[in-house]
Each structure stands twice: as structure tokens, then as C-alpha cells.
Homo-oligomer: A and B are copies of this chain.
């Protein structure tokens, strides 16, 4: 490294060397400004240090004096340097804001979020739950098993789609999703869930959550639209509707699912999980399905069918999607690949009746505008070549064994405290707490011994008369499960019963 450039007095002009382009005053100004600022930021120039006189610096580096003046002006405007009339400018004290040195804030009122933001975002039910620390094997709900996933196939399809993509000019992919993916999804849900649709009816979304958000924003007039939600029910759906300004109407769930006869006539949207109620696991009975569709038709309401894990079915009863039976274009069918494939994929979809499609695309366009074509192309190929169906088939016996072991333990070891709620699908199972007065202690014991298991109260807007415990088996193996439930039994046996 060279010695710093010295002035006519033989003293260094700056404690470091500047590297300026040979020509172009504009480029030289830019370099000078940036290198001086960098020196302030990395503290080669300390707060209070005086900058060299403009004339001296200009002479030392062969710059026009105006260039140095302009660079100093910029540093002053940015707050890195304090101007001193009739004296040499000095380096300002920097504030360690945002994790990086920056110009000092002015001594003014700091902004306040509650004054600047829409108050709805302060609603408690919109706050993100605190992250829970859980062991890798736990009763956590809604996360699938990563073992057995055909990652090699995914990688191969990714490489192929990337090669294909690299040959085509860049463009903004369509709002509604890639045609190949919409087609693959339509065929898949028609085959596995008897959903009546074609590719044109499918809008690809960023997980199921974006589908709920789009529907909420489209269907809800803030402060006016009443939306019926299962109680207990899936909190993120509640959040999407609350954020859109809906009036939330909780409707109880019993062992036939949503109590359709409790729907007030003025609800305009009904959100329901017919295959596998979230979180109780019950199936909406055929009678209730018919009643719900009749209600929607009579009252002009829209039904949102959230079929989040209905692909994993263990029972023999042949009920397909609710949408299959919809003869009035009232049902929006929402699906996700977070459970059948993996959550980091962040792909879901909504099959909407034609009269709602244009509106949903208008909302989606204002929201995130375009598709992420690479991920969608890989997913489309994965589905179209049968890998999704094969993966679901491969996982079914894995989950069935875990489910069976769970059921077994609940019905034997834990039968004094818990009563499994009949359920035929999905990646979790709930069990009603037999002793409501001891419920909070039983939940507490489960929190310790069965990490990841959740009280259905966590899914409810108001405390439930008869809470249940929901156990996920997506990331729980049979052995760990047995140990955990044995420990839970011992813990419960030690409890003084009331």
C-alpha cells in the first residue's frame, strides 16, 4: 500500500489514500464522496476530526476545487459531516441505528406505530404466535414427514425446468399461475377429491393462506360482512378475515362438524374444513353438507372449503370434497401442498366458481402481481408425472401406522383422561378431555410430556366447555410417540384428581 498523499507542507492530507479515477469530474466526485463516507463509517475518520481544507485536498489529488466542495456538501446533506462557517468541516458523531452506523437522528419525536398504522393490526388475534422450541420429533400439527420425500426426483425436475427456462426470454408469469400447474392441479383434485373443475378454474396461490387472504379481501366489506368460522377453528383463516375487517361469527363444532343449524341467516361467507375439521378432526356429515349447501344457496352465501390435509384418508367412508356436491357455484375449494409435499414450497390454490374468478385475479394482481414461475414449473412436472400421487400413496401407510399407534395409546393407557374424537383423515388426531375441571392441568402435563400437542382452546375465540388435545403425527415416529405418551400417563396418574 502506498503512503497517503501529502500536501505541499509534506503532511498527509488524509490519514488514508484515496483512489480516484483519472478522468471525468463526475466520476471523480462520486468516488471522492463515497470514499470519504466509507472512511467516516468505518471510523478511519473519527467523529470530531476536521476534514482537510477543500483547496488543499483538491491540490493534492489534482481535483477541481468545486468537486471537493460538492463532495463535502453531499456529506453534510447526509449528516456525516457538520459544516462550520468560516472553519474546516468536522466529522459528525454517528448513531448506531439499524445495526449500522448512520448519520445521527435529529432530536425530534420518534415516529409511533400506533399513530401511523391502521388500528386493525393491533387486534390480539392478528399477532403472530411466539415461536415454540420443539424437538425434531414432536406432536406438532400440520408439518409432514421429510423422510421418504423423493428429493432426488425434485432435484432432477428442478434442473430440467431450469434448463428449459434458461432458453426462453424473461417475462412476468401470469397472475393466475402457470398453465401447466393449473392443469396439473385440476387433474389431481378431480381425480383424488372428485373436485369438479378444469384448469381455468384454478388460481395458484402462495400457500392456502394467500387463498384465504384473497377471498377475504374480495368478499368482505370492512365492518359490514359477517363471516362464519368454525369454533374452534384454524387461527390463520380467522386472521385473514379479521384483517379484511370482517365481523367474525364463531359457530360451534360437534361430532358431525360445523353446526350448520346455528348459522345466522345474515352470514355471507362460511369457512369450513369438511374432510378433517381443524383442529378436532371430525368429518362434516353428509346431512350437514347438504344443509350447508342449501343454506348457502338460500342465503346467497359463499362457502370456503379448506381441504388442507384431506388427501390422507384412513377411513372407508366415501365422502369426497364438499365442492363435488355444490350445484349452485357457491363453494370455493382451497388446497395446499404444504402437507402433501412440504411447507417451504409455499404453493396452494383455490378452485373458484367462474363468477368469482375475475375478482380473485384482480385482488391477486394488486397483491403480488405475478407467479413465481420456476417453483411452479417444477411442481407442475412433479404432479403431472405422477410423483405427487405416488408420494401420497407411499406416505399413507407411514401415517396410518403412527395414527394407529396414537389411537391405541389413547384408548388404552390414556383412556381415563382422554377420549379420541372419531376422525378419518389428515395428519393429526384430537382427543376430548374426559375431566373438564382438570382440563388445564391435563393440558399442562401434555405440554411437558407430549411437546407439540395443542389444546383446542388454542384454536378457539372463547374458552371451550369441553376442550380437547390435538396430537399431530406428521413428524412423530411410533417409538418416540410411545415413550412420550407413557410419560404423559405417569404424569397424569401422579396428578391429584379433582
Binding site for B on A (CB under 8 A): 24-27, 29-30, 33-34, 37, 71, 74, 77-79, 97-106, 108-113, 115-119, 121, 126-128, 136, 143-146, 149, 151, 154-155, 158-159, 162-163, 165-166, 168-173, 175, 190, 194, 196-201, 206-207, 209-210, 213, 217-222, 225, 236, 239-240, 242-243, 245, 268, 286, 289-290, 297, 300, 302, 315-318, 324-325, 327-330, 338, 342-346, 353-356, 358-359, 361-363, 365-375, 475
**Across the interface, do B206 and A368 meet the contact criterion of CB distance under 8 Å?**
yes
Q: Which residues of B contact A200 (CB under 8 A)?
A: 98-99
**Across the interface, do A29 and B316 meet the contact criterion of CB distance under 8 Å?**
yes
With contacts A99-B200, A108-B328, A346-B372 known, what are 19 further pairs, Cβ within 8 A? Answer: A30-B316, A100-B197, A102-B327, A103-B325, A105-B328, A106-B327, A111-B302, A111-B353, A113-B355, A116-B268, A117-B356, A127-B362, A146-B168, A154-B162, A158-B162, A210-B367, A236-B369, A243-B366, A346-B371
In the complex, what distance in Å separates the CA atom of A218 from the CA atom of B165? Answer: 36
User: Which 8 pairs, one residue from A and one from B, show the smallest C-beta to C-beta distance?
Assistant: A26-B316, A99-B198, A151-B166, A344-B373, A30-B318, A346-B372, A102-B196, A209-B369
**Across the interface, do B162 and A324 meet the contact criterion of CB distance under 8 Å?**
no
Closest to A149 in B: B166
Q: Which residues of B contact A317 (CB under 8 A)?
A: 26, 29-30
Smallest distance from the beta carbon of A140 to chain B beta carbons, Å?
9
Closest to A144 in B: B170
In the complex, what distance in Å separates the CA atom of A374 from the CA atom of B376? Answer: 12
**Across the interface, do B330 and A111 meet the contact criterion of CB distance under 8 Å?**
yes
**Across the interface, do B302 and A100 meet the contact criterion of CB distance under 8 Å?**
no
For this complex, 26 residue pairs linking A to B, each with C-beta atoms less than 8 Å apart, are A25-B316, A30-B318, A37-B194, A79-B325, A79-B327, A98-B196, A99-B198, A102-B196, A104-B327, A111-B302, A111-B328, A111-B356, A113-B358, A117-B218, A118-B218, A126-B365, A136-B169, A143-B171, A154-B166, A172-B338, A209-B366, A213-B366, A213-B367, A222-B222, A343-B370, A344-B373
**Across the interface, do B197 and A365 meet the contact criterion of CB distance under 8 Å?**
no
Q: Which residues of B contact A367 (CB under 8 A)?
A: 209-210, 213, 240, 243, 367
**Across the interface, do B300 and A172 meet the contact criterion of CB distance under 8 Å?**
no
**Across the interface, do A240 and B366 meet the contact criterion of CB distance under 8 Å?**
yes
Q: Which residues of B contact A74 (CB under 8 A)?
A: 286, 318
In the complex, what distance in Å separates the CA atom of A198 from the CA atom of B136? Answer: 30
Q: Which residues of B contact A213 (CB under 8 A)?
A: 366-368
In the complex, what distance in Å separates the CA atom of A119 from the CA atom of B362? Answer: 12
**Across the interface, do B155 and A170 meet the contact criterion of CB distance under 8 Å?**
no
In the complex, what distance in Å separates the CA atom of A26 from the CA atom of B424? Answer: 12
**Across the interface, do B24 and A112 meet the contact criterion of CB distance under 8 Å?**
no
**Across the interface, do B115 and A300 meet the contact criterion of CB distance under 8 Å?**
yes
Q: Which residues of B contact A286 (CB under 8 A)?
A: 74, 77
Closest to A369 in B: B209
Q: Which residues of B contact A77 (CB under 8 A)?
A: 286, 289-290, 325
Smallest distance from the beta carbon of A483 to chain B beta carbons, Å?
19
Smallest distance from the beta carbon of A378 to chain B beta carbons, Å?
9
Closest to A205 in B: B368
In the complex, what distance in Å separates the CA atom of A362 from the CA atom of B168? Answer: 37
Residue of A111, A317, A342 most packed against chain B (CB within 10 A) = A111
Partner of A106, one of B289, B302, B328: B328
In the complex, what distance in Å separates the CA atom of A268 from the CA atom of B318? Answer: 56
In the complex, what distance in Å separates the CA atom of A202 from the CA atom of B412? Answer: 51
**Across the interface, do A169 and B146 meet the contact criterion of CB distance under 8 Å?**
yes
Q: Which residues of B contact A316 (CB under 8 A)?
A: 24-27, 29-30
Partner of A119, one of B27, B109, B165, B221: B221
Partner of A369, one of B136, B165, B207, B302: B207
Smallest distance from the beta carbon of A143 to chain B beta carbons, Å?
6
**Across the interface, do B170 and A324 meet the contact criterion of CB distance under 8 Å?**
no
Smallest distance from the beta carbon of A307 to chain B beta carbons, Å?
17
Partner of A370, one of B170, B245, B346, B359: B346
In the complex, what distance in Å separates the CA atom of A327 from the CA atom of B155? Answer: 46
In the complex, what distance in Å separates the CA atom of A106 from the CA atom of B30? Answer: 72
Q: Which residues of B contact A362 (CB under 8 A)?
A: 121, 126-128
Given contacts A162-B151, A196-B100, A353-B111, are A105 and B325 in contact (CB under 8 A)?
A: no
Q: Which residues of B contact A219 (CB under 8 A)?
A: 116-118
In the complex, what distance in Å separates the CA atom of A190 from the CA atom of B144? Answer: 38
